[in-house]
Amino acid sequence: MATASKSGIPNVAPMASIQLVSDDTIWIMDNYMVKTLENLKENPITALYFYDQDTKRCFQVKGATEIKTSGPDYEKFRDQVRTKGHKYPAKSLIIVKITDVFECTAGKDAGKKVL
């Protein structure tokens, strides 16, 4: 998950507590985010990279985020994440509204806008 500070300093970190909840919405759980969360508070735009091992395709997803620390969506995802491991603090839900998707598989379609 890539973010940037207000002044444009980039940051990237791996995220596994992640779920596609609808065609245009992704949920990510903030368990251990530090710079990521600081950046999102001052600059809500994110970029995500996904690689599908089976198809060997990869995608860049861009989106606008919202941070939730309470409410039904937060509680639902918190409970789901905690069933995988009680150790997870599940501090906040990062809702990503997808704005753009690009193909990043090497080859003729590299860089093409998919959505």
Ligand X SMILES: Cc1cc2nc3c(=O)[nH]c(=O)nc-3n(C[C@H](O)[C@H](O)[C@H](O)COP(=O)(O)O)c2cc1C
CA nearest to 68, candidates 90, 46, 93, 89: 93
Contact assessment for residue 94 and residue 44, using Cβ atoms and an 8 Å cutoff = no
Contact assessment for residue 111 and residue 102, using Cβ atoms and an 8 Å cutoff = yes
Helix (H) or strand (E) holding 80: helix 72-84
By the rule CB under 6 A, 31 interacts with ligand X: yes
Contact assessment for residue 77 and residue 68, using Cβ atoms and an 8 Å cutoff = no
> Minimum distance from CB of 11 to ligand X (Å)?
5
> Minimum distance from CB of 71 to ligand X (Å)?
19
> Minimum distance from CB of 93 to ligand X (Å)?
11
By the rule CB under 6 A, 46 interacts with ligand X: no
d(C-alpha 96, C-alpha 36), whole Å: 13
Count of chain residues binding ligand X (CB under 6 A)? 14
Span from 14-22, 62-70, 96-104, 105-113 in contact with ligand X (CB under 6 A): 14-22
By the rule CB under 6 A, 17 interacts with ligand X: yes
Residues that bind ligand X (CB under 6 A): 11, 13-17, 29-36
